[in-house]
Amino acid sequence: MGENGSGWLPEAMSTVAAEVDALFYFTLYTSTIIFVAVIGAMIYFGIRFRRRDESEVPTPVHEPKWLEMTWIVVPTILVMIVFTWGFKVFVKLHTAPPDSYEITVRAAQWYWEFEYDNGVTSANELYVPVGKAIKLNMSASDVLHSFFVPAFRIKMDVIPNRVTSVWFEATDVGTYQVFCTEYCGTSHAAMLATVHVVTDSEFRQWLATQNQDLPPAELGAQLFNQYTCNVCHVDTAVGPGLTGIFGSERKLSDGTTVIADEDYLLESIVDPGAKLVEGYGLQMPATFGSLTQKQLDGLIAYIKTL
């Protein structure tokens, strides 16, 4: 909740957010008024017309027609208002403006990868210009995930073998939280990303300076961090630890052993199932094969320093 937050919802930071909120509050307040009126009347009638004596016999009630018509017509009108209003907002939320800037989103256990039109990729950090419609074309490489940015009031499932999309236009610069809202395994709760909404010139500059020449081990450290490799290989025991791995002897699940040289590290990154370390299942996504040779060299250089 920020400066515009209300206690019910976080601050509204996209062009569609105000419309989503208006509908939410209309439904919330109307339901609250009806709930209080119905429960209040129930309690009042329960006390006022309670049976006071064993010999009391109630007389049959014949309700007036106007009262019956009222509780049919009023709720019908309310439901139609919420339906037409909701349908309008739904269509708007699902129709990206034709001049949207498109970004490809890939979800995997357990990180978000973003690819921009010039081929630049980033992981768990989405940069977008303020005041510009952004369309995200999303797919998953393993299981179901869901992309949710509360401040923008957008949420969309991300599914293997299918492209789903969602769009937004941020109204102010700042950083906003992305959550994965579909349970996707051990580190689902850690599958977070940040949207950096920056000015148009800052965005262009950021795009131009990405993937610049870094020493291999530094590039590798950056990638290791961006792709949250530490979640599986350091923080949890989902994958084997990597400290001192280079040059060590690895015992594999098929009983053989192998020396962890550059070749082994490369193979294990791009084809994780090829040589499984004893005691570990195939948990790692096979998506890192899409990294460039330079990025892979960087990762290997970094792992050698651990």
Binding residues vs ligand CUA (CB under 6 A): 107, 110, 145, 180, 182-184, 188, 191
DSSP 277: B
Least gap, CB of 142 to ligand CUA (angstroms) = 9
Fill in the amino acid letter for 81.
Answer: I
- The full DSSP string for 34-68 is HHHHHHHHHHHHHHHT---STT--PPPP---HHHH
Least gap, CB of 230 to ligand CUA (angstroms) = 17
For 85, residues 6+ apart whose C-beta sits below 8 A from its C-beta are 23, 26
| Nearest to ligand CUA of 131, 185 (CB atom) | 185
Least gap, CB of 286 to ligand CUA (angstroms) = 17
Tokens read off for 20:
């989503």
| Nearest to ligand CUA of 85, 179 (CB atom) | 179
| Nearest to ligand CUA of 107, 276 (CB atom) | 107
Least gap, CB of 256 to ligand CUA (angstroms) = 34
> 89 burial class (0-12, 13-18, 19+ CB within 10 angstroms)?
middle
| Nearest to ligand CUA of 17, 228 (CB atom) | 228
Least gap, CB of 189 to ligand CUA (angstroms) = 8
| Nearest to ligand CUA of 105, 180 (CB atom) | 180
| Nearest to ligand CUA of 122, 124 (CB atom) | 124
Cβ atoms of 93 and 30 within 8 Å: the answer is: no
| Nearest to ligand CUA of 191, 217 (CB atom) | 191
Ordered alpha helix ranges (H), the chain:
17-48, 65-93, 200-209, 216-226, 229-230, 262-270, 293-304
Angle at 213 between CA 209 and CA 218, to 5 degrees: 105
d(CA 176, CA 223): 21
- Best CA proximity match to 245, nearest among 284, 296, 294, 302: 302
Least gap, CB of 291 to ligand CUA (angstroms) = 20
Least gap, CB of 184 to ligand CUA (angstroms) = 3
Mapped onto helix, strand or coil, the DSSP state of residue 76 is helix
Least gap, CB of 192 to ligand CUA (angstroms) = 10
Mapped onto helix, strand or coil, the DSSP state of residue 162 is coil
| Nearest to ligand CUA of 106, 233 (CB atom) | 106
